[in-house]
């Protein structure tokens, strides 16, 4: 696979690369991340390989990430050849209740500020960064549809939002003839698979392209961590990683290490290839901090994991079932009672009548 093996994003005509370049690491304003020259080098490398999908957000590195992108394309050109995505909801103004969130006023001012930093007239994909419980979904959707009609955004996406909220919005948008969501951005990796319960099947049912963030779980699956191995020195942990160093996650890391050794590659490449192999996935988002990390991540495109190794990874990382999914796993026997439907076999239900005479 190559970055030029483009895919349509969800139920849309927007073509994107199979790996997206995430830019949360562009700028050091959050004390971790890449200097401007390194950020530019990563852009050069990604674009020269044919990549066209770049993801940022208004709040990333206090707005510096967007500014780095804006300056880069203003100087180098080629803005029209990339799918440039940014996000709204996060506030950059302390104490201002309308500086963040998904209300109409907030959306308009956040977009205007993003366009200024990005030095562009439009955004290709505008993400609702997270669920805003204080704003009716119809207000958000109508505001976004107005911006599509005005030509300031091309497509609408949704990120980090409960499945029922996304489904509600998707149905309402189609009912009212507004621009629907075309993509869903969620955390997804060998370590974080809880989204398989509801968010992933919901996205597939509603025609949403899925762009997972943190496919290496903040570096846990990069090869730096193990039961007896942790990075040393200042800045060795991405915020939030330390609390994830659990026995379960060490088991997953060891399974990924074993597979990587068997196929002769690195753990990061295995973890990314696994995400790429999952149903419904369009374009995982890379979060590299150095050029060498980006180079390693791009190598995942060359890795086609055998089915038996995928099964081994699946078994090691299987998510714990939650209600009602754990309960529903057994109801097929009650419904099918020994029949096979759409390839799914079942056991005869022992409490069902064995003969017609036993039925009331």
Angle at 190 between CA 325 and CA 41, to 5 degrees: 140
Structure token pair of residue 323: 């209600």
CA–CA gap between residue 192 and residue 201 (Å, rounded): 16
Q: Which of 60, 155, 188, 225 is catalytic?
A: 60
Beta strand 83-88 pairing with 123-128: parallel
Which DSSP category does 28 fall into?
Answer: S
Torsion 130-131-134-140 (CA) sign: positive
Q: Based on the residue annotation, tell me whether 188 is a catalytic residue of this protein.
A: no
3-state secondary structure of 271: helix
Which residue(s) pair with 55 in the sheet? 22, 85
DSSP E strand stretches across the chain: 7-8, 15-16, 20-22, 53-55, 83-88, 123-128, 153-159, 181-187, 209-213, 285-286
* Collapsed DSSP state (helix, strand, coil) of residue 230: coil
Q: Judging by DSSP bridges, how do beta strands 15-16 and 7-8 pair with one another?
A: antiparallel
Distance from C-alpha of 269 to C-alpha of 297, rounded to nearest angstrom: 6
DSSP 170-217: HHHHHHHTPPPEEEEEEE-SSS--GGGTTHHHHHHHTT-EEEEE-TTG
> Hey, what are 294's tokens?
């980006």
Tokens standing for 38? Answer: 């390194």
Active-site annotation, residues: 60
């Amino acid at each position: 696979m190559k970055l030029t093996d483009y895919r349509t994003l969800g139920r849309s005509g927007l073509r994107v690369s199979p790996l997206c370049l995430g830019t949360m690491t562009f700028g050091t304003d959050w004390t971790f991340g890449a200097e401007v020259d390194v950020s530019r080098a990563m852009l050069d490398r990604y674009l020269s390989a044919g990549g066209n999908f770049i993801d940022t957000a208004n709040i990333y590195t206090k707005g510096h990430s967007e500014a780095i992108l804006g300056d880069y394309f203003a100087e180098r050109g080629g803005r029209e050849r990339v799918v440039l995505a940014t996000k709204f909801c996060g506030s950059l103004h302390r104490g201002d209740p309308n500086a963040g969130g998904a209300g109409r006023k907030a959306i308009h001012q956040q977009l205007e500020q993003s366009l200024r930093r990005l030095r562009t007239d439009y955004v290709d994909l505008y993400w609702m960064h997270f669920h805003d419980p204080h704003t009716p979904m119809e207000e958000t959707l109508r505001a976004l549809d107005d911006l599509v009609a005005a030509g300031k955004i091309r497509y609408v996406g949704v990120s980090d939002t409960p499945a029922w909220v996304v489904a509600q919005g998707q149905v309402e948008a189609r009912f009212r003839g507004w621009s629907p969501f075309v993509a869903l951005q969620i955390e997804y990796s060998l370590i974080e698979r809880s989204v398989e319960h509801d968010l992933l099947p919901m996205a597939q049912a509603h025609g949403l392209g899925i762009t997972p963030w943190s496919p290496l779980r903040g570096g846990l699956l990069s090869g730096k961590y193990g039961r007896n191995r942790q990075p040393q020195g200042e800045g060795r942990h991405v915020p939030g990683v330390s609390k994830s160093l659990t026995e379960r996650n060490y088991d997953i890391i060891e399974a990924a290490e074993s597979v990587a050794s068997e196929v002769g590659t690195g753990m990061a490449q295995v973890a990314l290839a696994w995400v790429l192999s999952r149903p419904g996935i369009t374009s995982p988002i890379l979060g590299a901090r150095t050029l060498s990390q980006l180079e390693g991540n791009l190598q995942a495109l060359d890795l086609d994991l055998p089915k038996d190794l995928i099964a081994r990874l699946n078994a090691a990382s299987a998510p714990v079932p939650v209600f009602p999914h754990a309960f529903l796993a057994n109801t097929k026997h009650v419904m099918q009672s020994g029949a096979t439907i759409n390839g799914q076999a079942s056991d005869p239900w022992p409490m069902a009548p064995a003969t017609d005479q036993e039925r009331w």
